Amino acid sequence: MTFEPDPQKNDVPARTPWRALLRRRWIWVLAAGLIGIGVYLAHATRASNGTARPPGQKAAPSPAGLPVVAVAAKEGDIGIYVTGLGSVTPLNTVTVKTRVDGELMKVLFEEGQMVKKGDLLAEIDPRPFQVQLTQAEGQMARDEAQLNNARVDLERFELLAGEDSIAIQQVDNQKYLVRQLEGALKIDQGQIDNAKLQLTYSRITAPVSGRIGLRQVDPGNIVHAGDTTGLAVITQLAPIAVIFPIPEDSLPPVLEKLKTGERLPVEAYDRDQRRKLATGHLLTADNQIDPATGTVRLKALFPNKDNGLFPNQFVNARLLLDVKRGTIIIPVAALQRSPQGTFVYLVQADQTVALRPVSVGPAEGDNLSIAEGLAAGDLVVVEGAERLREGSKVAPQPPGAGNSRRGG
C-alpha cells in the first residue's frame, strides 16, 4: 500500500527531520563549550595552587603575615580616679546695691573689670547727707551748752543746799535735768554718727574682690535702697570651686581620705576630656546622698590664678583617690572583648598571635592596668586586631611606622 500525501494538507512533516538535525548540532556545540570552560577553570586552579606550573618555574612564596601595630606591656604606676561632670561655682557672688536713696552721680567702673575689695565703684549725691550731718552737729552743740549750764547750776544749788538756803527738792530736780541733757547729748552723737554713715554709704565700694559684670543703672537715675536690681554683680574668680557628683559606692574611700586629712588632688578637664583646665584639691563632701540619682556632691577648690575656669562652666572633674604602683600597663586599644570575657592578642616568637585572657584593672587616660594575664615585655596588638584569629600570622610594626610609610 503506497502512501501519497494529500495535496490539501500542510507539508510540515516533510521538513521536520531537518529541524531536529539542527537542534542536535546546537546541543553538541553547547556541550563542547561547557567542557572547555571546565577544563580551563581546573587548569587555572591547579596553577594557583602550584600543582601545575611551567618547567623550571619555582613555587610561589608563602603569604606574608598581616601587618599589625604592636607595643610591649610595661610596668609602672597608674592612678585610681573618681570622675564626675561638674559645674564651676564661685565662692562669692555679690549684687552691688545702694544703701541710701539718691541720685546716682558717678559710675567709676568698667564692665568686665577686675576689682578689689574696697575699690570705689559709684557715688550717690552726698549733699543731703552733709546737710543732715550739719544739723546733727548743731543740735549737739546746743545740747552740750545746756548741759554745761545745768552742771554749773547744780554745783551752785548743792552749795546753797549745804547752807540750808534752798530746798533739797530743787537740788534733786537739777540733778535730773543734768542727766536728761546728758542723754540728749548721746542722742545727738548718734544722729551725727548716722549722718556720717549715710555720707559713707553715698560712696559705693566693692564688697569682695572679683570680676564685675554688666552695669544695670546709668548715672543720673534715682536709686533706692529697696531696689531689687543692683548696680552690678561681682563674681569672685580666684579662688573658685567646682561641684561634681560621684556614685554613692565611691563615697566611703573618699570620706576615709578626708578623715585622715589627706589632700586629694582634683583635675578639671574640658567637655572632650582632652585639655586640662586647672588643678586643685578636694575641699569637702555634701552631707547627704541624692536618692533620685544615687550620687553625692563633692566640692573642690581651685586657685584659678589664670582664670581658666569660668562661673557656671561645665567641666569633667577627676579626683585622684589612690595610685596603684608596680602594675602592668598596656594601651586601652589593645583590649578586646568577647562573650567569654576580656582578652588581648599576644604576639609570639614565631610571629603568630595567641588569644590571651586578661583581668582588667583601673584605667587612666589611654592606659589600662592589667591585674592578671600579662607580664612586662609581652607584645600585644593595638591596631589591626579586627582581622586576627587564634594562630594568625602577623608582621608586627611599632606605633607610627605605618603612618610614616603611608606618608612617604
Residue 320 belongs to domain with CATH number: 2.40.30.170
Note whether 124 and 224 are same-domain residues.
yes
DSSP state of 169: H
Question: Which is more confidently placed, 193 or 62?
Answer: 193
For residues 310 and 279, membership in a common domain is answered with yes
Residue with cell 610596668: 75
So what's the pLDDT on residue 48?
44
The answer, yes or no, to whether residue 3 has pLDDT greater than 60, is no
Q: Residues 91, 241: contact at Cβ < 8 Å?
A: yes
Quote the pLDDT of residue 30: 66
Tell me the per-residue pLDDT of 350-393, one tens digit each, with 9 for 90 and over.
999 999 999 998 888 889 999 999 999 999 999 998 889 999 99
Residue 89 binned pLDDT confidence (cut-offs 50, 70, 90)? very high
Q: What is the pLDDT of residue 365?
A: 80
Residue 10 inside a domain? The answer is no
- 35 within a domain of the structure (yes/no): no
> Can you tell me the mean pLDDT for 178-205?
95
- Among the three residues 178, 210, 232, which one is the final residue of a domain in this structure? 232
Q: What gap in Å lies between CA 335 and CA 260, rounded to an integer? A: 37
CA distances for 194 relative to 134, 145, 189, 197, angstroms: 12, 22, 9, 5
Clarify whether residues 131 and 220 are in a common domain: yes
Span 299-354, pLDDT tens digits? 999 999 998 999 999 999 999 998 989 999 999 999 999 998 999 999 999 999 99
- The DSSP secondary structure of 237-266, one letter per residue, reads -SSEEEEEEEEGGGHHHHHHHHHTT---EE
Q: Is residue 257 one of the residues assigned to a domain?
A: yes
Is the pLDDT at 400 greater than 80? The verdict is: no
Q: What are 355's three cell numbers?
A: 588569644
Percentage of the residues of the chain whose pLDDT score is greater than 90: 70
Q: What is the CATH number of the domain that holds 400?
A: 2.40.420.20
The reported pLDDT for the residue numbered 127 is 95
Per the model's pLDDT, the better-predicted residue between 164 and 176 turns out to be 176
Nearest to 89 by CA among 408, 314, 295, 267: 314
How does pLDDT run across 262-297, given as a tens digit for each residue? 899 999 999 888 899 999 999 999 999 999 999 999
**Are residues 378 and 344 both part of a single domain?**
yes
Residue 26 belongs to some domain of the structure: no
Domain that residue 246 falls in: 81-91+235-324
In a domain, residue 302? The reply is yes
Paired residues of 343 in beta bridges: 336, 357
Alpha carbons 158 and 324: distance in angstroms, whole number:
92
pTM summary value: 0.65
Q: 406 falls in which pLDDT band (50, 70, 90)?
A: very low
Residue 317 maps to a domain: yes
8 A C-beta contact, residue 336 and residue 356: no
Judge if 122 and 228 occupy the same domain: yes
Q: Are residues 85 and 120 in the same domain?
A: no
Q: How many domains in the chain?
A: 3
**125, pLDDT greater than 50:** yes
How many angstroms separate the CA atoms of 48 and 54, rounded? 12
**Lookup: cell for 369:** 592596668
- Of 232, 250, 271, the position where a domain reaches its end is 232
Please check whether residues 357 and 367 belong to one and the same domain.
Answer: yes
Angle at 243 between CA 241 and CA 247, to 5 degrees: 150
DSSP 187-230: HHHHHHHHHHHHHHHTEEE-SS-EEE----S-TT-EE-TT-SS-
Q: Are both 338 and 320 inside the same structural domain?
A: no
Domain assignment present for residue 152? The answer is yes
Residue 218 lies in a domain: yes
Per the CB < 8 A criterion, the answer to whether 358 and 373 are in contact is yes
pLDDT of res. 164: 85
Domain-terminating residue out of 307, 324, 341:
324
The mean pLDDT value for 7-21 works out to: 47
